Structure 1
Amino acid sequence: MRLFVGVLPPWRACDELARALRPHLGAWPGLRWVDRANWHVTLSFLGEVPEEIMSELETRLARAASRHASMTLSLAGAGAFPSPHRARVFWTGLYGARLPLARLADSLGAGARRAGVAQLDRRRFRPHLTLARARAETDMSDLVEAFEAFAGTSWETDTVHLVRSHLGPVVRYETIAEYALAAPAPDGRS
């Protein structure tokens, strides 16, 4: 099964983002907008994972997550991959505890490798939430500029999700496990 580990923004953050996006949707008909039900921030893309390592994978992901504290995050700004002028992906950024979030992503990836995940994506972690994709390179610089002032309300995240991707004409994501961020916070909160 095709899996990733990610953060799912709460509904109120998604509501805010949807309202901010609404004026831009009709102006960019060439983009395929990601369905709101699929909005997530990927921490570790695992690829195809064989059923026989699932038990070990879940144990290692739970252990990795438990070593990290909950964190305050928010969605803000905009960007495009690989660049705004030659883009295929339009996104909003993830802000807040970026260094702890990067460490969490590294820990989850290490746990997945130890469990035997072979297709682990090893690209540098760039926290973002994908909003739209283009089939061909598109100049999205006006869209990025128009949306870069977006700043969502922050939220506390205390779990990460193991998510299965169901590919096909309609992409669908299914959470198959949740892992608590259980370590005490650096400031003594728990």
Structure 2
Amino acid sequence: MQYDPGMRLFVGIEIPPPVKDQISLWWEEVRGHLDPDHWRPVAPHLWHMTLAFYGDVSGGEVDDLSEELAECARSAVAMTLKTGGYGLFPKPSKPRVFWAGVREASGDSKLKHLARCCRRAGHDTVRKRTAREAAFQAHITVARIRAHAGMMNMERLQMMADVPELEWRVDRINLYQSILRPEGPQYRRLETFELNGSSYRTRGKYV
């Protein structure tokens, strides 16, 4: 596949439509606890779970990165994920992201190992220091800060209903291109890698 020179890339896990639908119902119920002047919701069709973010990658480096990600996928196994909990990144005093939490239903570490491998793939191939970022915490970003608003009202935040527990089976990961536009980002799925299987490529698929 021919790639454009210089692309903003990340690897992640897609969220199935039925899970998105239920999270959307929860979000509509709780979003009033966040000041709309300071927070911008992320459109549900863009919801995903990032494993590693690589930033701008030159076209010549993408194939090397893809090969490493294929190895990560081959060494991983399918798993069941579960939603639950919510929070702020990086900290309540300077929040940038409001998220819904995700964890392995079995309580194992397969997801963390997969994320670590994907981060290391970026560090090894495109010299992005993804392997040395903060500890991985699985989440779905549902809103981003518009402007710094100071310390969050934690009492108000704690009044939110918890994210419903929703399970789904994960058997693949995707390499995405993030295209920044004035109306918001678009994500183009470049490649899909089956866990413990073979990889196959998709062309021009936007989500």
Query: Which TM bucket (shorter chain)?
Result: 0.7 to 0.9
Other-structure match for 1:164: 177
**Distance (whole Å) between structure 2 residues aligned to residue 143 and residue 34 of structure 1:** 21
Q: How far has the Cα of 1:84 moved from its partner?
A: 3.4
Query: Which residue type is aligned with residue 29 of structure 1?
Result: P
User: Which residue among 6, 16, 19 is the counterpart of 1:10?
Assistant: 16
Q: Find out whether 1:126 has 2:140 as its counterpart.
A: no
Q: How far has the Cα of 1:55 moved from its partner?
A: 1.6
Other-structure match for 1:187: none
Percent same amino acid at aligned positions?
Answer: 30
**Distance (whole Å) between structure 2 residues aligned to residue 80 and residue 62 of structure 1:** 31
Residue deviations 1:57-103 (CA, integer Å, cap 9, x gap): 11111111110001100221111123335422111111115621110
SS in 2 for 1:84: coil
CA contact (8 A) 1:2 1:48 kept: yes
Q: How far has the Cα of 1:14 moved from its partner?
A: 0.5
CA contact (8 A) 2:89 2:98 kept: yes
Other-structure match for 1:19: 25
Of structures 1 and 2, the one with the larger relative CO (CA 8 A, separation 6+) is 1
Q: TM-score, normalised by structure 2?
A: 0.80
SS in 2 for 1:59: helix
CA contact (8 A) 1:78 1:145 kept: no
The alignment's C-alpha RMSD in Å is 1.9
User: Residue 180 and residue 147 in structure 1: after superposition, are their counterparts in 2 closer, same or farther (change >3 A)?
Assistant: farther
SS in 1 for 2:162: coil
**Poorly superposed stretches of 4+, deviation over 4 Å:** none
Residue deviations 1:94-145 (CA, integer Å, cap 9, x gap): 111562111001111222333x212343312111111111121451524542
Of residues 42-51 and 132-141 in structure 1, the stretch that sits farther from structure 2 once superposed is 132-141
Summarize the alignment of residues 132-151 of structure 1 with structure 2, pairs less than 5 Å apart. 132-134=143-145, 135-138=147-150, 139=152, 141-142=154-155, 144-147=157-160, 149-151=162-164
Unmatched 5+ stretches in structure 2? 1-6, 198-207
Q: TM-score, normalised by structure 1?
A: 0.87
SS in 1 for 2:148: strand
Query: Which residue type is aligned with residue 38 of structure 1?
Result: L
